[in-house]
Structure 1
């Protein structure tokens, strides 16, 4: 989990959207209210385009297209383009065609409702259709989704939305902006002195508390994005099975990884999120893959061992509970 800490001489707003926590921080407190209104409008548009849980969303409407090419909004086309590029960059470890697999493990509604659901699930190995089955023509905004394929943009859409919102608000307001959606953090504009301070931790918890388990680090981010993916959050139990939301496209089941969390910094939050999620799926050797990509990262094993790649800050505070 990545939690932005609020620097002095800034203003922050915290609320919920897209089924997750939202944090907006601005370096000009006088602009907080107007920026927050713009952010709320932006996230509402993203939800209407990309939600897998809304029957009236554009993404859900693709379920009924049965392989016919259809024109989608520029917003959904952009989100799909980001998802498909993430799939290509991660060799399919992050794949938007896992929608049916997510439904099969019970993640077919907002997460707050998933934990309350007691329907049994039957865990079955099922390779996902694969991202290459989806065709997007960015020039025309036309997408083709084969019959029976359900898309899930959960692995990329929030990070992309954070990137898009941070850039838009910085351009509009002319100040430093931080947008965090469920811990996926994007920054734009002029950063505070010392950079945006972000706590990277291995379990969820209050910002001002040391996690009960594992370890945390505080890093300064001046540009781009930072994302943490893990198997310790968004967990639920169903019929004797312990499940979580990171699905391995090769099996259609929750990934069983060497890592419990992976944090990555990159030029964009979308790139950071794709890399951190892919590292969980890749498991053993993911640190070498991230090193080859020259991505600063912090990986934590299931038993709490911290592994970092070149470029990850070494002079930050590290604490073990």
Structure 2
């Protein structure tokens, strides 16, 4: 007996300074799910934004090294960031906030390109994630004086994970949440999985060259994330800048990879790994393979490298199922 195909419905908008896409397998529940998602993202913004003076994260700047009680939401976001730092050997580090401000990324990205203030690039190490102290029992966090945090490398992916699971439980249907391309799915997927187009050239689908620049995967669970150095770029004082910071230099990372896409058990894990791969540079594909993470890496010259488990036909459909170890099975 054949199983009828599930229909889906989608909503697209903007929040957290990026694009938001919500897809559900029950069209009748789209509006209510969208309202819940909007509420969730507003709470994340209030807790985690580096650009809001009234956010919980910004309040930590004035703590002068004193323990500060934070909301469970921010404590969870910080815990995810610290886990990402540990799992990537510090390649993803939340203490790069000051470095981002130094290169001009101190406001919503839509305003960054309009700013013509000069920048002074100085090589230095980030303060380091090990200097943070998050006490989950007391709900407090201690940030050393002068250290500014940035959760941009993990917060959107974590928010997508959290929202997808919450909405799937509430609506009892399949849910996909994508925040700036960081995609999390939960609940029963459509037949064949959630079809997600992965491309390394920024732009609308119809403008993307057909040869070798994209692949389509069917994601059944977990998350998929792409990190790159070509999407959020700007120039300042003759310097070409982007938002991926190397904690070893506090400068935009110089990497052989244009984009890295990773599938993992959660979107947060996928995002941490894809960002870390850019920072690790040459040999990142071997690191991803050791982690058991299927990935697609595209070099600055357009050469595509994949790790075991990633669908191997560029431009064709493959299947992505995150395994219990955090990988996906083709």
TM-score, with length taken from structure 2: 0.93
Equivalent position of 1:246 in the other structure: 244
Q: CA deviation at 1:141?
A: 1.1
**Contact 1:203/1:213 (CA < 8 Å) preserved in 2?**
no
1:56-71, aligned counterparts within 5 Å? 56-71=54-69
Counterpart pick for 1:178 among 167, 173, 176: 176
Match of 1:3 in 2: none
**CA deviation after TM superposition for structure 1 residue 95, in Å:** 0.1
Query: What does residue 289 of structure 1 align with?
Result: 287
Contact preservation (8 Å) 1:215, 1:318: no
Which string of whole-angstrom CA distances, capped at 9 and with x for unpartnered residues, describes residues 157-208 of structure 1? 0000000000000000000000000000000000001100111111211134
CA distance in 2, matches of 1:13, 1:186: 15
Residue 205 of structure 1 aligns to a residue in which SS? coil
1:316 shift after superposition = 5.7
The Cα shift of 1:211 comes to 4.2
Q: 1:310 aligned to 308, 311, 315, which one?
A: 308
* Residues 260-311 of structure 1 deviation map (CA, whole Å, 9 limit, x = unaligned): 1000000000000000000000001100000000000000110000000000
Structure 2 stretches lacking a partner, 5+ long: 318-330
Higher relative CO (Cα under 8 Å, sequence separation at least 6) belongs to 1
1:205, 1:211 within 8 Å by CA — same for their partners in 2?
no
Of residues 150, 160, 163 in structure 2, which corresponds to 1:162?
Answer: 160
Matched positions, count? 313
Kindly state the Cα deviation for residue 126 of structure 1 after the two structures are TM-superposed: 1.6
Q: Equivalents in 1 of 2:72, 2:139: separation in Å? A: 6
Residue 214 of structure 1 and its aligned partner are, at CA, apart by 6.7
Give TM-score, length-normalised by structure 1.
0.95
2:165 and 2:316 map into 1 onto residues whose CA distance is 30
Match of 1:133 in 2: 131
SS of residue in 2 equivalent to 1:161:
helix
Q: Say whether the 8 Å CA contact 2:212–2:314 is kept in structure 1.
A: no
Q: Which residue of 1 aligns with 2:230?
A: 232
Tell me the CA shift for residue 209 of structure 1: 3.4
8 Å CA contact retained: 1:262, 1:298: yes
The 4+ residue runs of structure 1 with deviation greater than 4 A are: 211-214
- Paired position in structure 2 for 1:108: 106
The 3-state SS of whatever aligns with 1:290 is: helix
Residue range with higher mean Cα deviation, 200-209 or 268-277 = 200-209
Query: Gaps (5+ residues) in structure 1?
Result: 1-6
- In 1, the alpha carbon distance for the partners of 2:52 and 2:233 equals 22
CA distance in 2, matches of 1:290, 1:137: 30
**Inter-partner Cα distance in structure 2 for 1:142 and 1:79:** 13
- Report the alpha carbon displacement of residue 210 of structure 1 after superposing the two structures with TM: 2.1
Deviation at 1:229, TM superposition (A): 0.2
